[in-house]
A and B are shown apart, each in its own frame.
Chain A
Amino acid sequence: MLPFLALCLALVFLAGPLLAAVKDSACISCHEGPAYRETKEGKKEAVHFNRQELSDSIHKALGCTECHTDVSAVPHQEELGRVDCNRCHGEASLRFERGVHGKALKRGDKDAPSCTSCHGSHRILRVSDQRSPVNRANQVTLCAKCHTDVEMQKKHNLPSDMIKAYENSVHGRFLKEGKTVRAAVCSDCHRAHDILGPKNPDSSTNRVNIGEVCGRCHVQIYSEYKVSIHGKALKEGKMESPTCTDCHGEHTLTLVKDPQARVYARNVPTTCAKCHENQEIIRKYRLPSDRYSSYVGSFHGVAMKYGNVTAANCISCHETHRILPAADPESSVNGQNLPRTCGKCHPTMKDVASIGKIHVEARKESSLGMYYVRNFYTWFIGLLMLLFLGYIVLDIYGRAKRRGKGNG
């Protein structure tokens, strides 16, 4: 140990003053050996550098002081500053500072990740390199390191179930199967550097922006959604209007075929009913009421309830993503298009001139005939029951009375 330190000192004394900048060889001369520093607690901490680490790093051509800028002489001061990636990666740094992680770091939060927490320090690999922790294949594991930590969740009030839900989601399963291109990973939706909370209007996961985020991969679906009544309403600032995640779920999203999915044929009516049976929303936007109840009581609704998933549900007629108001001549439920829409399942209906009201509530205002026939029968059956029961009671009474007389 002593001879080594002596050598270091000798080198510094000899070479230091002669050179304007510190050469890598000078750094290595100490840090490739067992150099250490004392921490505040008095423990020895290795500040060992392994040349091997740099060999496949994207930064291997850089000299030590290009990042460790505060080293101007050897030996250097005991405490070095944090490496500032901003010098070269200005845009990424700027974005990072805007995000929740960057803000937390600025606040001095010890748990907040910095550049190196995700990208590594000396062995920084290209994002496209399969070995990089931020590569699509490894990203979820990287984020999970903090986001599945129960202590961390409690301390910072983080959602607890999202990684697990993601792993079971269709994206998570694709990832597991190695279909990394098809699987959306954390940064695809949350962005890489400027990660923001969903309430922030600039956030990629804010209600208003989610469509666009999903639409980056699901191009066709997004183009349909954009022109739909839901897509337009959300754009107009009607925040209750559903976006992708309201029907498909966020981290939980599964394939349509999955019976657990909110968009599985059998679950579609209840998913739509969440808003379309919500009296507050119905009143606020003057939506037609009883859409769900009139469906559930119909043949389609009953058949669906008992597991006949080929029966029509909401989206069979109203379309899936391109839902348009009935007044729109383009709408699948516009009177003129109904024969074609019904004709999807009932081929003979294609040539029918007009079909008429589909959601029938048997109310006085909307379906007068049905209302009266139903009321007539309800009263008639009630009256019949009364007459029959009255007859039976009377019959038994008369019989008992006559028998009493006969005996007496």
Chain B
Amino acid sequence: MANKDDYIQRFTVSERITHILLFSSLIILSITGLTLKYHESGLAQWIIRMEGGVLFRGKIHRLAALILMGTFAYHILSIIFSRRAHAFFQDMIFRKDDLSCFAAIFKYNLGLQKELPAFDRFTCIEKFQYWAVGIAVVLLSASGLVLWGETLFMMVFPKWAIDLNHIIHSFEATVGFVVLVVWHLYNVHLNPRVFPMSKVWLTGKVSKEELKRDHPLEYERRFGNGQE
């Protein structure tokens, strides 16, 4: 068995809990939301019945939204106040070389390039997911709050703003859903490299070997140049 020292802590307990709260609320929001968007389909109608009717569906949706917004607020607060989360956030910021990173992955898979570029703590794919979800959560929370208090909102804004907001909420949710279901789930579950799934979201740990393979720059920073 691998020695305890062979592993490093990639995600703390609080980060893992944040992730669990994030995806469970998003799953509930997707189910309750998409069934409303595609309410004409028979499957959606069956799900809405399972959800306790169209009114109770709304209550579930808003409760999950509260959990999501709470999680998001916690994340923002920790970025501001926690040293670790601040560093985490800074590592997530897109840099110049992230652009060439996508091109490099493309070439590598086509066989035009022998090696993948050396990734740091987060690859361009991971950053893309983080920001796509982050922006979606901001847009969805804002437009969702407007829908929640539409009568109050309409006292100030004209109805076309509500209609626009409705469209944004509906389509932005679809964008988020596509990013997470098609892109994220492939990368962390179905990708042959990690299939059936990467356990890092549960244990928070990755082996030094994995770190060296997937994030060589970070490995280098932590353990020095590992080459013998």
Footprint of B on A, CB under 8 Å? 302-303, 305-308, 346, 348-349, 351-352, 354-358, 360, 362, 367, 369-370, 373-374, 377-378, 380-381, 384-385, 388-389, 391-392, 394-399, 401-402
Contact = CB atoms under 8 A, between A and B. Distances in A.
Nearest to A403: B192
B178 A398 contact: no
Interface string B102-113: 000110111100
Interface string B165-201: 0011001101100110011001000011100000000
Residue with the highest number of chain A CB atoms closer than 10 Å, among B48, B163, B174: B163
A342 B48 CA distance: 27
Contacts of B183: 388, 391
B160 A308 contact: no
B12 interface: no
Residue with the highest number of chain B CB atoms closer than 10 Å, among A355, A373, A391: A391
5 contacts: A307-B53, A348-B152, A367-B163, A388-B186, A394-B110
B69 to A, nearest CB: 21
Contacts of A401: 111
Contact of B54 (A308, A367, A369, A396): A308
Interface string B142-175: 0000000001101100111001100110011011
A397 B163 CA distance: 43
Contacts of A385: 178, 182
A399 B187 CA distance: 13
Contacts, number: 101
Contacts of A377: 167-168, 171-172, 174-175
Contacts of A394: 106, 109-110
A374 B167 contact: yes
Contacts of B208: none
Given A381-B175, A398-B111, A356 B158 contact: yes
Interface of B: 36, 39, 48, 53-55, 105-106, 108-111, 151-152, 154-155, 158-160, 163-164, 167-168, 171-172, 174-175, 178-179, 182-183, 186, 191-193
Contacts of B186: 388, 392, 395
A355 B159 contact: yes
B111 A381 contact: no
Given A356-B160, A384-B179, 13 more contacts: A307-B54, A308-B54, A370-B160, A370-B163, A381-B175, A381-B178, A384-B175, A384-B178, A388-B179, A394-B109, A395-B186, A398-B111, A399-B193
A354 B55 CA distance: 28
A339 to B, nearest CB: 10
B54 A373 contact: no
B164 A355 contact: no
Contact of A348 (B155, B179, B193): B155
Contacts of B164: 369-370, 373
A348 B151 contact: yes
B155 A352 contact: yes
Given A367-B163, A398-B110, A355 B171 contact: no
A294 to B, nearest CB: 10
Contacts of B109: 394-395, 397-399
B54 A302 contact: yes
A377 B182 CA distance: 17
A356 B159 CA distance: 6
Residue with the highest number of chain B CB atoms closer than 10 Å, among A357, A388, A401, A402: A388
Contacts of A355: 154, 158-159
